[in-house]
Amino acid sequence: MNFYPLAGKLIPIFWLLAIALIGLGLYWGFFKTADVLSDQKQYYRIIYVHVASAWMAMWLYAVMVAWAMIGLIFNTRLSYMLASATAVTGTVMTIIALITGAIWGKTSWGTWWDWDPKLTTFLILLFIYIGYIALQAAIDDTRRSDKASALLALVGLAIVPVIYYAVNCPDPNECASLHQESSLKRVESNILIGMLVTTLGFWAYSFATILMRARNIILERERNTTWVSKLDEVK
Partner 1 sequence: MSEFFYMGGFGIFIWSAMATALVLMLLEPIMLIMKRRSVLADIKRIKRLEERKNRK
Cα torsion 42, 46, 52, 55: sign: negative
By CB under 8 A, tell whether 46 contacts partner 1.
yes
Q: Kindly provide the b/e burial profile for residues 167-190, where b requires at least 16 CB atoms within 10 angstroms of the residue's own CB.
A: bebeeeeeeebbbeebeeeebeee
By CB under 8 A, tell whether 209 contacts partner 1: yes
- Binding residue for partner 1, selected from 21, 25, 45, 80, defined by CB under 8 A: 45
CB atoms under 10 Å from CB of 227, counted, come to: 9
**Helices (runs of H) and strands (runs of E) counted in the chain:** 8, 0
- Applying CB under 8 A, the span of 60-68, 128-136, 171-179, 218-226 interacting with partner 1 comes to 218-226
Which one-letter DSSP state was computed for residue 180? Answer: P
Nearer to partner 1, 135 or 219 (CB): 219
Report the residue number, 134 or 151, with the smaller CB distance to partner 1.
Answer: 134
User: In the window 143-172, what residues touch partner 1 (CB under 8 A)?
Assistant: none
Options 20, 78, 103, 178; binder of partner 1; rule CB under 8 A: 103
Check if the beta carbon of residue 157 is closer than 8 Å to that of residue 66.
Answer: no
Site string for partner 1, 109-148 (x = CB under 8 A): ----------------------------------------
State the nearest-atom distance from the C-beta of 218 to partner 1, in Å. 10
Which member of 17, 99, 162, 178 binds partner 1 (CB under 8 A)? 99
Please give the distance of CA 106 from its chain centroid, rounded to a whole number.
Answer: 23
Instruction: Answer yes or no: are the C-beta atoms of 101 and 50 closer than 8 Å.
Output: yes
Residues in the chain: 235
Rounded (to 5) percent helix, strand, coil in the chain: 75, 0, 25
When asked if residue 49 is in the footprint of partner 1 (CB under 8 A), the reply is yes
Residues that bind partner 1 (CB under 8 A): 26, 30, 35-36, 41-43, 45-46, 49-50, 53, 88-89, 92, 95-96, 99-100, 103-104, 106-107, 205, 208-209, 212-213, 215-216, 219-220, 223, 228-229, 233-234
